Amino acid sequence: RKEVEQDPGPFNVPEGATVAFNCTYSNSASQSFFWYRQDCRKEPKLLMSVYSSGNEDGRFTAQLNRASQYISLLIRDSKLSDSATYLCVVPGGGSQGNLIFGKGTKLSVKP
Amino acid sequence: GAVVSQHPSWVICKSGTSVKIECRSLDFQATTMFWYRQFPKQSLMLMATSNEGSKATYEQGVEKDKFLINHASLTLSTLTVTSAHPEDSSFYICSARSPPTNTEAFFGQGTRLTVV
């Protein structure tokens, strides 16, 4: 299994749709997980942190399944502005705190 | 929140020249900074870990003599691409995690390097 694996998409959805992304990770010792959003030619920005079973912030819900080693991100009532690439990020396991990035899932929300 | 500033945001250079990219933590001290590279439609790939006051740790396949890293202070790390070639054209981005280390990573704005 790759360290962090995501479905690259693209996911093309209409405004108002609910969309879910999954991410699997290989390091069973990982304790914290992150979803970042990256717009084209921009730096990644933190969307959500996940430390326990899940996290919810408005239209965004992240869930963690440690037994199966996957994290999901659910976006409800999607907006045009949600169009971006969503990166699943897992600590690298080293002592210095590097992060391992998935290749990202591209989301395109259409009017 | 913590801020990481990266400069320049874009640079075009001639093949064979060197380019220096700066990464600064503006409101926290970063003993460790990370340098990533991202090719089009690819994920961010860790190039090296920059350690204040000591040698950087390079990932496998990254030439340490080509990508010189200096982390002379707790708020500044620099990446110098030496003798740049067109295949070095990429999006270079730095990040740092403010203590404690399980908090989010903060990214610089990234540097788009084009070698012609």
pLDDT tens track for B27-73: 888 888 999 999 987 888 999 999 888 889 999 999 999 999 999 88
Cβ density class A11-47: b for 16+ within 10 Å, e for less: bebeeeeebebbbbbeeeebebbbbbbbeeeebbebb
Question: Which are the contacts of B41, defined by CB distance < 8 A and separation ≥ 6?
Answer: none
Q: Which residue of A has its CA nearest to B41?
A: A103
As separate numbers, helices (DSSP H) first and strands (DSSP E) second, chain A gives 0, 11
Share of chain B above pLDDT 90, in %: 67
Confidence grade of residue B108 (pLDDT, cut at 50, 70, 90): very high
Contact between chains at B97 and A42 (C-beta distance less than 8 A): no
Confidence grade of residue B1 (pLDDT, cut at 50, 70, 90): low
pLDDT of residue B97: 79
The larger pLDDT score, comparing residue A27 to residue B115, is at B115
Min Cα separation B82/chain A (Å): 23
Q: Which residue of B has its CA nearest to A44?
A: B107
pLDDT of residue B100: 62
Confidence grade of residue A96 (pLDDT, cut at 50, 70, 90): low
- Per-residue pLDDT reduced to its tens digit, A42-89: 889 999 988 888 889 999 999 999 899 999 999 999 999 999 999 999
Contact between chains at B107 and A45 (C-beta distance less than 8 A): yes
pLDDT of residue B105: 81
DSSP state, residue B98: P
pLDDT of residue B101: 56
Read off the pLDDT of each residue in B62-85 and give the average, rounded to a whole number. 94
CB-based contact (8 Å) between A101 and chain B? yes
Q: Which of chain B's residues have a Cβ under 8 Å away from the Cβ of A98?
A: 34, 46, 49
Read off the pLDDT of each residue in B75-82 and give the average, rounded to a whole number. 95
User: How many residues in chain B?
Assistant: 116
Residue A41 pLDDT exceeds 90: no
CB-based contact (8 Å) between A34 and chain B? yes
pLDDT of residue A108: 96
Q: Which of chain A's residues have a Cβ under 8 Å away from the Cβ of B101?
A: 96-97
Confidence grade of residue A18 (pLDDT, cut at 50, 70, 90): very high
Contact between chains at B43 and A102 (C-beta distance less than 8 A): yes
**Which residues from B are below 8 Å from A when comparing CB atoms?**
6, 32, 34, 36, 42-46, 49, 51, 57, 91, 93, 95, 97, 101-102, 104-105, 107-110, 112
Contact between chains at B51 and A96 (C-beta distance less than 8 A): yes
- On average, the pLDDT of chain B sits at 90
pLDDT of residue A1: 61
Q: What torsion do the CA atoms of B73, B78, B83, B89 make, to the nearest 10 degrees?
A: 170
Residue B3 pLDDT exceeds 80: yes
Residue A27 pLDDT exceeds 70: yes
Contact between chains at B43 and A87 (C-beta distance less than 8 A): yes
pLDDT of residue B27: 83
Distance of alpha carbon B45 from alpha carbon A72, whole angstroms: 22
Contact between chains at B107 and A49 (C-beta distance less than 8 A): no
